[in-house]
Structure 1
């Protein structure tokens, strides 16, 4: 199917919603968070949904959709609908676990994960602008007792920062969550400053979906908060070319112009982007806005997300179909994250057909076979 997938008219109920000022998709980011769609009743004003079924799912896994992202759903339909609107299939997934990567056992202090020797992940908040239905941290994102979060709450970072200070092997600090860019600007500035002064930290990374779901958050004040002597890299989660709007382009331009290198960590999602045509367009469009396709993640085996998971065989087939038909700069690494804390592993199509004493038999992207002389 082409990346220009048609919207399903059955989900469209009210296209005049933009007339309601409180749901302006171009409003200030804090106004959008305040007026996000979080209940089945509110969403039913705009989409043709089974309200009782949605309510049942939301009780288990919270929902939030920004006015901006709702406008994209109303305009484009299913590829974006599936990512943001709860589905009762989330409640029927009994074959996966809530924490397949054992993040909790790898958390020596609150809100910090230390799985690899030289890097740590800080869970800055458990709030996001829009709650993705395929989230790897579905067990924790969006919750505060007893109600879903209205605004982002920054988790305490004192013990996490102290842990980094006391572990000189840690050179790479990753800010994640939830979405770290959703905390208050001054809180982000303070956290960046605390990490920046730790001598053995060389790089700071930020993992976010904000440019895709709430690009209005990328303000001049936020850019100022992301200023540090240490290099700051940002990995953005774009999953479909329809998410690359004029607003998203402006947000990425602002970040890139500020000297922040941008990458994308796309998730391969069944019924959303599991097509070579969709991904080809996405990766080309990303490179055009100065976002390097970095990872294509195979969906994690997280409870409540099984309906998003295509086979690895299909993923490899897509990657092989892209090779040679898209610039190498546009081609990400296809990755799986091994259960039990085994870590990330790249997967590649099998181009080497056989290895002899002094040569290899190799197949190219067209399927032609070549003899390649090997070294000694």
Structure 2
């Protein structure tokens, strides 16, 4: 697949099957058959950086819970949806999602360094997701060129930082050359899940952008901010990229006051401003991660007095049918 040469190099060391996970001590032998069944439907990938964070002695390890396949993933609850954010109805051309008047998503690839067990695009992303071919990419960029109401282009996927610096830089240059586009944004797991991919060449490609560029880093637990991740984020920060943090509220991962406080503090220490805390999207097989909104609101109320305002994200939930995100609060007495 063109443009993801660094992904090819990393794939030799990434755990991509139930057997790989068992061999690495991340999956009990008696769980391997069930995990393999999950892997036939949803991709598995655990990078060396993530594997190193997992406490193999803790059966409830919050890092492992995010990435190690579980048989419950094959059970779809009545409220769960294959496309919970309704990307498909808002796709004017391949690779583009246009839900809001002034901004749109560009999905240049559907591969990720790791595959989260709660991902809302889990039916679409995977190791064979690949990149947009040249005709499709040209079609997507042509749509951005023609659609002059767009002020913000958001690169997502898949994970855009999996692209080679050359290809990513070329896409960013095309977008920033469009006079009507004022802001560029990238959503990525790479800095925490595969910090070795944040090379000087990649940082240089981002640093060459002259228009405002925001990088939203997805992390859900404080331990994801390893020394290597902090170093990678520092490299990006020094280029002038603005770093924002987004997380999902997840049962067994960050559903406590202590865990959320530690996560937000870890973000700030890494120069990442907490931006969004997402209510879980109802993708198939993700019910074991669900935290009720009322509980989420109570957790945030408890955290509010313990952290700086700099650490405070907006708690949001996707509305059904692709209607977009709404802030959930919490509200306070007397407000």
- Secondary structure (helix, strand or coil) at the match of 2:51 reads helix
Where in structure 2 are the equivalents of 1:56-135 lying within 5 Å? 56-74=37-55, 77=58, 78-95=61-78, 96-135=80-119
Question: Given the superposition, is the C-alpha separation of residues 326 and 121 from structure 1 closer, same or farther in structure 2, using an over 3 Å criterion?
Answer: same
Does residue 124 of structure 2 align to residue 140 of structure 1?
yes
Question: Given the superposition, is the C-alpha separation of residues 159 and 29 from structure 1 closer, same or farther in structure 2, using an over 3 Å criterion?
Answer: closer
Equivalent residue for 1:31?
9
Does residue 222 of structure 2 align to residue 241 of structure 1?
yes
Equivalent residue for 1:217?
197
Equivalent residue for 1:180?
160
Q: Equivalents in 2 of 1:70, 1:297: separation in Å?
A: 25
- TM-score normalised per structure 1: 0.82
- Secondary structure (helix, strand or coil) at the match of 1:105 reads helix
- Larger helix proportion, structure 1 or 2? 2
Q: Equivalents in 1 of 2:13, 2:132: separation in Å?
A: 20
- TM-score normalised per structure 2: 0.92
Question: How far is the alpha carbon of 1:245 from its aligned partner?
Answer: 0.7
Does residue 20 of structure 2 align to residue 42 of structure 1?
yes
Question: How far is the alpha carbon of 1:350 from its aligned partner?
Answer: 2.6
Question: Given the superposition, is the C-alpha separation of residues 130 and 200 from structure 1 closer, same or farther in structure 2, using an over 3 Å criterion?
Answer: same
Q: Deviations over 1:315-360 (max 9, x none)?
A: 00011101121101101010101110111000112314xxxxxxxx
Q: Equivalents in 2 of 1:138, 1:306: separation in Å?
A: 14
Q: Equivalents in 1 of 2:228, 2:160: separation in Å?
A: 20
Higher relative contact order (Cα pairs below 8 Å, separated by 6+ residues): 2
Name the larger-Rg structure: 1
Equivalent residue for 1:357?
none
Pick aligned residue for 2:272 from 280, 291, 297: 291
- Secondary structure (helix, strand or coil) at the match of 1:157 reads helix
Question: How far is the alpha carbon of 1:57 from its aligned partner?
Answer: 0.4
Q: Equivalents in 2 of 1:213, 1:233: separation in Å?
A: 18
Equivalent residue for 1:349?
330
Question: How far is the alpha carbon of 1:154 from its aligned partner?
Answer: 4.6
Gaps of 5+ in 2: 1-5
How many residues align? The count is 321
Does residue 163 of structure 2 align to residue 164 of structure 1?
no
Q: Equivalents in 1 of 2:267, 2:236: separation in Å?
A: 14
Question: How far is the alpha carbon of 1:139 from its aligned partner?
Answer: 1.1
Gaps of 5+ in 1: 1-27, 353-360, 363-376
- Secondary structure (helix, strand or coil) at the match of 2:247 reads strand
